[in-house]
Every structure is written in C-alpha cells, then in structure tokens.
Amino acid sequence: MDGADVRSTVAVRVYADESYCGQLRRGAVYLLTGVLQQARYGRIPLWLLLEGKQPVAQVRAPPWHLAAIAQVQEAFFTVTGQLSDQGRVLVPGLTMGVLGQDYIGGDAGPMPVNSTYAQTLENQFRRSGIMHLMAVSGGHFVLVAGLVRRLCMWMLLDRRLTALLVSGVYALLALAMFPSDSVTRAFIMGLIGALAYAMGRRTQALSALCWTIIGVLAVNPDMSASYGFALSSAAVLGIVLFAGRLAGVFERAMPHSIAEMMAMTVAAQLFTLPIQVLMEPELPLLSVPANLLVSPFVGLATMVGLMALACAWCTPWLAGVFAWISSWGTLVMERVALWLGGSTMAVIPWKDGVTGAVLIVTAEIGIGMLLVFVSRCLQHVRRYEAGMSGVRFGSAWRVRLSLWCEETRRLFTWRQAE
C-alpha cells in the first residue's frame, strides 16, 4: 500500500574498508548506507557495499557479554602484537581461528604484519595440507573439556555438575572464538556429549554427529551449502569410522603414538578430499607427513594460546608469556609449511567440480578394495604356510547388511500392522 512501511529481513554480507570495519562490533545494530547487490558467490544471497564517506550510525549497542568478549579479544591481539611475524599471524589463527593479518578492530588496529610474508605463509599452509589448523574445530573443545573433566574427577564432583561445567566452558569457548560453521558443529556436538555424560551414558560420537547434522540442517537448511560445516562433519565422520581400524593396521609397522596420529590424518582426508576438490582443484600430496610433523605441538600450542586469551584482559604480562610459548609451537608449523609447501611435489592439479569429486571417491574406493584384496591374499598365504586347515568363520559384511535389511523390513511391517 502507498505510504505504508513494510519491514523485511534478509541475511547480507557487508563489504567495507578498514575505516568502516574498525567501527563495527559483534552483536550491535547499525544503520548503514551503501549499494545492495546480488552476491556473486557464497551462501549469503546479498552483498552490501559501503562506499564513499557515509557515516556508520549505531542504533543499539552490543549485549554486555559480547562487549566483554570483544574486549578480551582486543587485549589478546594487543598481546600477540608483541610477538614475531609468525607469532602475530599463527598464534591468533591457532587459538581463535582468525589469522593475525585479518584482524581489524578496536584500539589495537590492524596487526603490523608484513603482507607479503603473511600471504606466502597462508599459501604454503594450504599447499602443505595443514590449513585446517588455522580454523577452530572440535580439537579445541576436546582439549578444554578433557581438562575440565580431569579437574572435576580430582575434586570428586558429581557427573551432573561436571556436565554442567563442561557445557558452560563450551559456551564460553564458542563465544570467544571467531564465528564459523565448524565452531557451530563442534559446540552442538559437544553439548550432546555433555548431556550423555550427565545421564551416565557413554558418549557415542557417530550418533552425536548424526543428531548434530540433522538438527542444524532442520533449523538452518542453508548450512547444507556451507563448505566449512561439510568439511568439519566429514572429517569427524572419517575419524569415527576408520581411525581405530587404520591405527590397528599402522601399528604393525610403526609405534602406537605415530600410528594413531597417522590414522586420524588419513581417516579425515578420506572424507574431506572430495569436498576440498570442489573448493580448489588440487590434491595435497604431502598433507600426511606435514600433519605427522606438527601434531605433537598442536595440542600444547593450542592450550597455551587459550590460556593467553583468558589472561589477556587482566594480566597482560602473563598472557604475553603464554603467547610466547605458543609461538614456539607455531614456529614448528611455519617451518614445516614453508619446507613442504614450497616443494614442487606438494600438490598436483585435479579435475574441478563435481566430476573431480566423483573421481576422488572412485579412486578411494578402488584403492580400498585393492588393499582389502591384497590383505586377504596375504592372510591366505600365511595360513597355508602355517599348515592350518579349514576356513575362517566370522561375520562378513554381507551377513550384517542382510540382517540390517531384514530388521528394517520387519520394523516397517510391524508399524503397518499396528
């Protein structure tokens, strides 16, 4: 109708220069003037381009808890600004999921990082296959939850109180991290695990992952187009399904600790490679050795970085010590990335798009079938050499699949009979 105001709501991505971005705060409401256009890529349907010298008017201040988190983050970036270039870039990336050169805001301003060095380091991390270390994942939540559970068990606290404390730490950690879809997946999955622990039940990672994906897609169907959510979910799925089995195979040729780290890396890569090819048509050939070299330092550097984040607002000198210790762990990651990422064998080109992803899946299935065939041939030869007669009897996948189909048919038949 003429003369009537109609309110509408739509998600937009704002693009602006540093002078604008430095004024924006998470959780606040602003009145902006710019050019609204259809997005060229990404999940967000519209872009808002801030041009010229139009003022940014704040309509409502951010909630108190988000304002407090912003102050903690600014204090943390002020502390990391005293480190070397690699520390200013990698310590915030490992701790919060945002690289130092990408941070703009507050009185700390943009990080004084050499742009050429920062871009080179980011490219080498991607080529060496360890770029996932610069994104917050379930590893942060697992480390913090494990520490809280150990403290609660030492104090002999009730499991329900322990689960409540773990959930609270999860919420604080999710708020303090850079917002991303992988954080959302890890946070929801962690809450499901805490609920199971409060009920006295063993946490089932596969069940928690399935419920997390179903719930997230039911509430926000746009997450189905998120590469971050897909990569995070696929990596966890691969680790849950195959990490244990691969570790048992690798233990025959290497120590237990190295076998576990290699199994987790390979299991995650099996499920994430098709998605990575959709994002960028190349295969990181040296990702497994790169992850093996940095894995011993990731946990310690992450925990010390989180301690620096927690102390930055009240005791900057102590936070500086923690950040300095964390930078020694990230220094190892930098050297590995520059060494392996600079190799001509680091990546090979691959077919892009859906065709490339299908080729990856086909190659993985073919290699898996070949390895199973070779393994069975070796077992047959060893059994023949040992002089053992007969054939091994066990539960084959065909038997399990037929039983599952039969139980499913009987379930639906029983439902219809009611």
| pLDDT computed for residue 417 by the predictor | 56
* Whether residue 346 sits in one domain with residue 197: yes
* Whether residue 351 sits in one domain with residue 211: yes
Q: Is residue 29 in a domain?
A: yes
| pLDDT computed for residue 388 by the predictor | 54
| 367-395 tens-digit pLDDT | 888 877 877 777 776 665 555 555 555 55
| pLDDT computed for residue 108 by the predictor | 45
pLDDT(22) > 90: no
Percentage of the chain beyond pLDDT 90 is 14
| 234-282 tens-digit pLDDT | 999 999 988 888 888 888 777 888 888 888 888 888 889 888 888 888 8
Last residue of a domain, one of 363, 391, 411: 363
Q: Is residue 304 in a domain?
A: yes
Last residue of a domain, one of 347, 363, 379: 363
* Whether residue 50 sits in one domain with residue 162: no
* Whether residue 177 sits in one domain with residue 29: no
| 291-341 tens-digit pLDDT | 888 888 888 899 999 999 999 888 889 999 999 999 999 999 999 988 888
Q: Is residue 116 in a domain?
A: no
CA 135 to chain centre: 6
- CB burial of 116-151 (b: ≥16 within 10 Å; e: otherwise) equals eebeebbebbbbbbbbbbbbbbbebbebbbeebbee
* Whether residue 330 sits in one domain with residue 193: yes
* Whether residue 135 sits in one domain with residue 24: no
| pLDDT computed for residue 414 by the predictor | 67
Q: Is residue 75 in a domain?
A: no
Q: Is residue 268 in a domain?
A: yes
Domain residue limits at 32 = 12-60
* Whether residue 298 sits in one domain with residue 218: yes
How many domains is the chain built from?
A: 2
Q: Is residue 83 in a domain?
A: no
Q: Which two tokens stand for residue 58?
A: 């704040």
* Whether residue 286 sits in one domain with residue 198: yes
CB within 8 A of 1, min separation 6: which ones?
A: none
Summarize the confidence of residues 78-85 as an average pLDDT. Answer: 87
* Whether residue 143 sits in one domain with residue 285: yes
Last residue of a domain, one of 340, 363, 386: 363
pLDDT(213) > 90: yes
Q: Which residues pair with 29 in a beta bridge?
A: 60
DSSP 286-301: THHHHHHHHHHHHHHH
Strands 35-38 and 46-49: antiparallel
Q: Which residues pair with 57 in a beta bridge?
A: 31
Distances in whole angstroms, Cα of residue 62 to Cα of each of 19, 27, 169, 308, 405: 19, 5, 22, 24, 53
Q: Which two tokens stand for residue 387?
A: 């002089």
Q: Is residue 341 in a domain?
A: yes
Question: Mean pLDDT: which of 37-41, 165-169, 344-348 is highest?
Answer: 165-169
* Whether residue 41 sits in one domain with residue 178: no
* Whether residue 44 sits in one domain with residue 168: no
pLDDT(1) > 60: no
* Whether residue 173 sits in one domain with residue 52: no
Half-sphere CA count of 362, side-chain side, radius 13 A? 6
Mean pLDDT of the chain: 83
| pLDDT computed for residue 188 by the predictor | 92
Q: Is residue 408 in a domain?
A: no
